[in-house]
Amino acid sequence: MLVLEVESSVEWMFVCYTEDVPENGGACVKVGEEQIAIFNFSRRGAWYATQNLCPHKQQMVLARGMIGSTGDTCEPKVACPFHKKTFSLLSGECLSGDEYQIKTYPVKVVEDRVYLGLEKGQ
């Protein structure tokens, strides 16, 4: 049987250790010139990453936001700590009814190391 390996468009970058991110909370890492919020949603056993910039008032604060779940699907979300705009940790969509959107990133954890998925060439 011939197995072809498809080249992924994602490059995995080590950004921190699991102990650097509080359980059910977030931390900020800098990748190049960009600030990325990493979330350890331990109640769900999941990790998420988004831009740290809240588009509502252009503040670098999302890593300090409160995480939780919303709706019938229990979609994971983060709320801006200042103005309470909420964003999906899956799609980046604003769940507060506004037209804002945040960028999301894939995350994986391997042996207590947190990796961020970036598009190749980014």
The rounded distance, in Å, linking the Cα atoms of 85 and 15 is 26
Mapped to the 3 state alphabet, what secondary structure does 69-120 carry?
EECCCCEEEEECCCCCCEEECCCCEECCCCCCECCEECEEEECCEEEEEEEC
Measure the CA–CA gap between 109 and 122, rounded to whole angstroms: 21
13: in domain: no
- What is the model's pLDDT at position 8? 73
Global confidence as pTM: 0.89
Q: What amino acid occupies position 51? A: Q
CATH number at residue 65: 2.102.10.10
Residue 12 lies in a domain: no
Share of the chain above pLDDT 70, in %: 93
Q: Is the pLDDT of residue 5 over 60?
A: no
Is residue 50 domain-resident? yes
Lowest mean per-residue pLDDT among 6-10, 82-86, 96-100, 103-107: 6-10
Is residue 109 in some structural domain? Answer: yes
Task: Provide the domain limits for residue 32.
Answer: 21-117
Structurally, the chain folds into a number of domains equal to 1
